[in-house]
């Protein structure tokens, strides 16, 4: 099954529905990373809006391993919010790396579903913004193994720094994944 998602459908289906249900691991790859708020609580009841980092922290506390790979330093509000969630700082289940060459936007959930998108991990990209304030975004959600398996391998190679030694942009990298 492959599903096309547009604009606010991305938030509703991926961020509000699928991501909080991750059971084993959640890998997020994004070029840009900024403050992002999402609804928390039961639908139909009064939801409160919290930093997406709270959802990630909740998942880590439930034993879900999270990898966050991004291309540049997060915005100041994201960094300020990050410090409010000790599970993200202290747990070995939360791993974050920076690679300036990353332009990919993908979310991998438990190795069973993959979302490949134009949207960055920002409020206007993936967040709970009104349809009149959000970016115009598109993405594909799939559970097809022929797409998920190579994506898992590619993200894992990136995470492990397999590309670092041959990277010709290493001089611009603030914190190379693989040391020389």
CATH assignment of the domain containing 6: 3.30.870.10
Contact 93, 64 (CB under 8 A): yes
The number of angstroms, rounded, from the C-alpha of 135 to the middle of its chain's C-alpha atoms is 17
* pLDDT tens-digit series, residues 28-43: 999 999 989 999 876 6
pTM for the full model?
0.93
Structural domain contains residue 116: yes
Domain count, the chain: 1
Tokens read off for 87: 């599970």
Asked whether the beta carbons of 74 and 33 are under 8 A apart, the reply is yes
Of the pLDDT bands very low, low, confident and very high (cuts 50, 70, 90), residue 148 is: very high
Structural element, H or E, at residue 2: strand 2-6
Residue 98 structural domain: 2-172
């Amino acid at each position: 099954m492959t599903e096309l998602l547009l604009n606010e459908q991305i938030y509703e289906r991926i961020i509000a529905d699928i991501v909080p249900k991750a059971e084993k691991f959640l890998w997020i790859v994004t070029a840009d990373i900024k403050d992002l708020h999402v609804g928390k609580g039961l639908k139909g009841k009064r939801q409160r809006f919290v930093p997406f980092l709270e959802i990630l922290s909740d998942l880590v506390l439930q034993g879900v391993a999270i990898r966050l790979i991004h291309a540049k330093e997060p915005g100041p509000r994201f960094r300020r919010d990050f410090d409010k969630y000790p599970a993200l700082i202290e747990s070995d289940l939360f791993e974050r790396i920076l690679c300036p060459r990353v332009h990919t936007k993908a979310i991998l959930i438990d190795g069973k579903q993959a979302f490949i998108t134009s949207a960055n991990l920002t409020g206007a990209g993936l967040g709970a913004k009104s349809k009149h304030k959000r970016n115009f975004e598109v993405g594909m959600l799939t559970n097809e193994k022929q797409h998920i398996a190579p994506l898992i391998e590619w993200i894992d190679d990136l995470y492990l720094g397999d590309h670092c030694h041959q990277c010709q942009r290493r001089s611009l990298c603030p914190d190379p994944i693989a040391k020389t």
